[in-house]
A = this chain, B = another copy of it.
Amino acid sequence: MSSRGFKHDLFAQFARVGKALSNGNRLELLEYIAQAERSVDELAKVSGLTMANTSQHLQQLRLAGLVSCRKEGLKVFYTLSGYDVIGLLDALRGVAERHVADVERLINAYLTVKDNLEPVPAAELLHRAREGLVTVLDVRPVEEYAAGHLPGAINIPLPELEARLDRLDLHKEVVAYCRGPHCILAFDAVERLRKLGRDARRLEGGFPEWQHAGLPVEDAGESH
């Protein structure tokens, strides 16, 4: 095998992974899968894609080595192949944010009050939560919470926020988190809590980033 040929083939293999990341729908699916193991129909529902389309995208992700799957009865559950995939997604997001001007414009256009929403770094939250100074709020759907969440976090899915406000201590600051740095659930939660007069901020990053950083995690078995 020639040296040039080797190189060429090797870059072609790396490009397969790049190709898997080259479609917005696949990136969205990856973000959902990064929360918890998911079946195809869950992913289809939450992404708004058809079943067949979702299935095909998932197979492309699988061939690129980004996700693995497991069959159980009728359902097929997909999960990330490893934590390094979260690292890759973060690197992609980071580069896009720092270098693609459109991303910043988009974020600013949607998050008009962005500057009021300075995020809390993970290390700071961990410290303050241990001292009981803050309420940690998980605004993702119950299934995602059940699959794993921050220690001591209270789960109130975003649609029920106002209805179940009594679960949040009136006198503590609330730190909300959700799926990731650009998931808007936590942004919305903070905005709504502030309208209700609460002291609220959001966590920098989401659950996958927290987990990837090696910080402590609780799952359904030990939840409150």
Bound Cα distance A15, B106 (Å): 14
Give the oligomeric copy count: 2
Q: Chain B: which residue is nearest A63 at the CB level? A: B100
Find out whether the CB atom of A23 lies under 8 angstroms from the CB atom of B18: yes
Candidate in A8, A14, A99 with the most chain B CB atoms within 10 angstroms: A14
Bound Cα distance A48, B9 (Å): 14
Bound Cα distance A143, B101 (Å): 32
The majority secondary structure among interface residues of chain A is helix
Bound Cα distance A92, B6 (Å): 18
* Given A13-B103, A91-B84, A22 and B24 contact (CB-CB distance below 8 Å): no
CB distance from A188 to the nearest CB of B (A): 8
Bound Cα distance A83, B65 (Å): 26
* Neighbouring B residues of A8 by C-beta, 8 Å: 24, 28
Find out whether the CB atom of B106 lies under 8 angstroms from the CB atom of A13: yes
Which residues in A have some Cβ–Cβ distance to B below 8 Å?
1, 3-4, 6-28, 31, 48, 64-66, 81-82, 84-85, 87-88, 91-96, 98-103, 106-107, 109-110, 182-184, 188
